[in-house]
Amino acid sequence: MRLLVTGGAGYIGSHTCKALAASGHLPITYDNLVYGHPWAVRWGPLEIGDLADRQRLDQVIQHYRPEGVIHFAAYAYVGESVKDPGKYYRNNVAGSLSLLEAMRDHGIPYIVFSSTCATYGVPERIPIPESHPQRPINPYGQSKLMVEQILQDFQVAHGIRSISLRYFNAAGADPDGEIGEAHDPETHLIPLVLEVAGGQRPHITVFGDDYDTPDGTCIRDYIHVTDLAQAHVLAIEALASGRPVPAAYNLGNGQGFSVKEVIATAAAVTGKRIPVQMGARRPGDPPRLVGDAGAIFRDLNWKPLYTDLAEIIQTAWRWHQKRPYFGKSRPPLS
């Protein structure tokens, strides 16, 4: 299939493009490069453009005639979404609406949407199933939930079938070392810890050690980015096959690791000392976020290959060591 991959120059998008190409598909990356990287687009063409630019979007669709869409393009900084919600609703919601209207007008019949566990808000039970109430506590999560609803409305009105994939914590890097995680600013725990191990940061700040967890720090469900990518391939192929599928799936390992466990594991993997500084709790951080991904296991025969935390961190460390800033003070990551 020819597949339009919005945000395909980003972290998860680029890994998914590699997985699509390995499965015989042609990924066509459409990215405005605000956060994406041209060097990450290696398995298909790169078309630079914004979802809000309908003329440019139409031009790319008319040229390639994609048969489906995988939609990653979104802003994803929770704190920023609280400070500037308009930016998130304009980009994440209005941008997605522009994309869906283009799909409607060009007759593209299906889409896989990059959603998030942030749509659940503070969990009532662990592990979190897809049936859990969706009550996001920040504009980022709310913007993703809005798009999930728009997708359902477009299926009813226009027959565009969709699957929303609700991620937990994406982690790791391409096992072949070709691409990896490179955000600027970086906010994810594992790359931040590895930057401390690599000498780019003096310490890692732990936000709260008095949670109701075994060691007092927050517990999260880490899933390797390559496993996430494979789930997108299976989801788009399921839609293309025409078989009935649910509107949404969780993507997680079903097990959680605390902040302190991540730091200790990273120290063991790297052989480096990782200084820790304690900080205050961040507002809205739930003590535990662990997903129940049983539905996609059963329906699409998806199973994570990387379930060991040390193995996940090892792939990220190999990538981190290849970066040009390794062993130096922290520069921009472009």
Helices and strands of the chain, counted as H and E runs: 11, 14
CB 89 within 8 A of CB 252: no
What is 154-180 written as a DSSP string? HHHHH--EEEEEEE-EEE---TTSS--
What is the distance between the alpha carbons of residues 276 and 180, in angstroms, rounded to a whole number? 25
Instruction: Please give the Cα distance from 236 to 243 (Å, whole number).
Output: 11
Q: With beta carbons less than 8 A apart as the criterion, state whether 158 and 299 touch.
A: no
Nearest to residue 266, comparing CAs of 315, 334, 327?
315
Cβ atoms < 10 Å from Cβ of 55 = 7
Q: Which of 88, 140, 211, 222 is catalytic?
A: 140
191: preceding bond cis by omega (within 30 degrees): no
233-266 b/e (C-beta count within 10 Å ≥ 16 → b): bbbbbbbbeeeebeebbbbbbbebbbbbbbbbbb
- Contact between residue 312 and residue 241 where contact means Cβ atoms under 8 Å apart: no
124: its two tokens: 């009532």
Please, is 24 exposed, middle or buried when counting C-beta atoms within 10 Å of its C-beta (0-12, 13-18, 19+)? exposed
- 128 in Cβ contact with 291 (< 8 Å): yes
140 is catalytic: yes
CB 151 within 8 A of CB 200: no
What are the catalytic residues?
140
